[in-house]
Amino acid sequence: MSTTHDPTTPSAASVDRLTSTSFDEEVMASDRPVLVDFTASWCPPCEQQTPVLHALADEQAARLRIVEVDVDESPDLARRHQVLSAPTMVLYVDGRIALTLVGARGRGRLLEDLDPFLG
């Protein structure tokens, strides 16, 4: 059985990829918390984290925005956030860093870590 996308159905929330030029505008000025996933294409734990983050982007779209930054494409952002390993997730609330998580997390643990910051 194959499935097709119905264009009349709203699409799932997306996890946008940010760069140095879009980061401040997209993250610092957001009206809801933003989880920034610092990731890399060569990182196996990042590959495991990706489906968890995409699912949360759908489920928590009203309370949380999730974006990703490739550390190889934007090394300046990785340095700015002192990212030494991938994945590293940084939660911004009202333009300020509220939480930094290093390493992959399952859905339940990630929601538990984020919940105090999501209104």
CA distance 77 to 72: 10
**pLDDT tens column, 2-21:** 333 333 333 456 899 999 99
Cα–Cα–Cα angle for 108, 110, 111, rounded to 5 degrees: 65
* Cα–Cα nearest to 43, from 22, 17, 69: 69
Query: In the prediction, which pLDDT does 7 show?
Result: 33
User: Could you tell me if 15 and 57 are in contact, meaning their C-beta atoms sit under 8 angstroms apart?
Assistant: yes
Which position among 18, 35, 36, 43 bears the catalytic label?
43
pTM of the model: 0.87
Which position among 46, 64, 69, 86 bears the catalytic label?
46
CATH (one of 3.40.30.10, 2.60.40.10, 3.30.70.360, 3.90.1170.50) for 16-117: 3.40.30.10
**pLDDT tens column, 48-75:** 999 999 999 999 999 999 999 999 999 9
Active site residue 52: no
User: Could you tell me if 53 and 106 are in contact, meaning their C-beta atoms sit under 8 angstroms apart?
Assistant: no
Active site residue 43: yes
**pLDDT over threshold 90, residue 106:** yes
Instruction: Residue count of the chain, please give it.
Output: 119
**pLDDT over threshold 70, residue 35:** yes
**pLDDT over threshold 50, residue 96:** yes
Query: In the prediction, which pLDDT does 118 show?
Result: 92
